[in-house]
Amino acid sequence: MLAARAQAIKRLKQQHPFVEEGLLLSKLMAYCSREAHSCVEKAAMICFVKLRILEPDEKSSLRGKTLLMAMEEDETMGLIPFFVSTTLGTTSCCAFDNLEEIGQVCQKFPCVWLHVDAAYAGSAMICPELKYLLKGIEYADSFNTNPNKWLLTNFDCSTYWVRDRIRLTSALVVDPLYLQHGYSDATIDYRHWGVPLSRRFRSLKIWFVLRSYGISGLQKYIRNHITLAHRFEEHVAKDRRFEICNEVKLGLVCFRLKGNDKLNEKLLSSINASGKLHMVPSNVNDKYVIRFCVVAADAEEEDIGKVDTTNTWTRPNTNVSNISAWNGSLVIANDHFHQSIKISNILASQVTI
């Protein structure tokens, strides 16, 4: 966003040479979806620019029409669109913004920098069958993904691509004599690529992962997690007391007990208190949901739960209007074990369909 701001100010200054940069800065407007990561809002605070947060559609996807209407409306008010952050694989429910539509909209505004955040989902693009999720990527000015999220690499590790690196580095160049050297033309000096003057040798660990697993090994790892996520989705879908709250495309399943949010808060609290499995909540379409994400490197089919031994998800229908009286179990999985939690001991609320 800093680079986009510098680019926009430079362009506007050429058009309006007698206007103060501070005044131009006050007119800059950035855009993102309500489902975008909180770092976008923080970046806008750091850059001292306005940020307009847009509503996604019913599938939590930001659409081009919504963005276009907002940008045109802001232009009529004298504001200047300069940055759009889209997400492929949102944090809350792994939704995908319509990048192709958004990219076409951004082409209509000369100052706009289009960034694609694929922190989690980007690693999955190593599988050819999943590259359809990148439709519209040709419009992007920058793209990032975090191998520490889903590519067997420990924190921190973030990979970043930029269409024109000069546009990025020119925004952050500070070149005192004591930092100059004779190899600047032959090497990449990363002090111009971000706020820190220097950085650790982060690339070594991802190099070892790539060399150790290879393309086929990493593809197998990603595909296994997706398969296991769909298996968990199937178990949940068979039980009418629960509902799936997202379109499961990768390794994340959002689900909830049908009923009020308090019911689901109690369930999640008990699961996490067990110390055997940890999940976090999210808000999807104004509902409190539980996020089940397959992350164990050696996760297996049996970790999701064998229905032939627990008979949990396939048991006869239970009266869900009084779920607190149910004496069954919800099977949850961790790396190498199963644990059953008595829902009758967790829930005190009534559920109605």
Same domain, 58 and 194: yes
pLDDT tens for 138-151 read 999 999 999 999 99
pLDDT greater than 70 at residue 308: no
For the chain, give the percent of residues with pLDDT over 90. 64
Give 186-198 pLDDT, tens digit per residue.
788 888 888 887 8
Residues 275 and 302 reside in one and the same domain: yes
Q: Are residues 180 and 325 in the same domain?
A: no
Range of the domain at 288: 215-345
Confidence band of 327 (pLDDT split at 50, 70, 90) = very low
What band does 318 get if pLDDT is binned at 50, 70 and 90? very low
Confidence class of residue 175 from pLDDT cuts 50, 70 and 90?
A: confident
pLDDT at position 315 over 70: no
Phi, psi of 252 (to 5 degrees): -115, 130
pLDDT band at 218 (very low <50, low <70, confident <90, very high): very high
The pLDDT value recorded for residue 85 is 98
Geometric angle at alpha carbon 234, from 322 and 340, rounded to 5°: 55
Query: Looking at 201, 236, 265, which one is the last position of a domain?
Result: 201
Q: Are residues 171 and 224 in the same domain?
A: no
Q: Tell me: do 174 and 246 sit in the same domain.
A: no
Average pLDDT over residues 125-152: 96
Cβ pair 336, 303 in contact under 8 A: yes
Residues 98 and 177 in one domain: yes
- pLDDT value at residue 183: 77
280 and 169 belong to one structural domain? no
Please provide the average confidence, as pLDDT, over all residues in the chain. Answer: 85
Taking CB atoms within 8 Å and a gap of at least 24, the contacts of 50-56 are: 50/79, 56/95, 56/97
* pLDDT, tens digit (0-9, with 9 covering 90-100), for 238-249: 989 999 999 999
Whether 345 has a pLDDT exceeding 50, the answer reads no
Is 162 in the same domain as 233?
Answer: no
Residue 152 lies in a domain: no
Is residue 207 in a domain?
no
Pairing of strands 113-117, 80-87: parallel
Residues 219 and 137 placed together within one structural domain of the fold:
no
Average pLDDT, integer, range 286-296 = 93
pLDDT at residue 156, rounded to an integer? 86
- 83 alpha-carbon distance from chain centroid: 18
Total domains in the fold of the chain: 2
Partners of 88 in the beta sheet?
96
Q: Would you state the pLDDT for residue 72? A: 97
Name all contacts of 312-316 with Cβ < 8 Å and 24+ positions apart.
312/235, 312/239, 312/340, 313/235, 313/236, 313/238, 313/239, 314/238
Asked if residue 156 has a cis previous peptide bond (ω within 30° of 0), the answer is yes
The CATH number that applies at residue 163 is: 3.40.640.10
Residue 210 is assigned to a structural domain of this protein: no
In a domain, 123, yes or no: yes
* Residues 276 and 221 occupy one common structural domain: yes
Task: Tell me, yes or no, whether 353 lies in a domain.
Answer: no
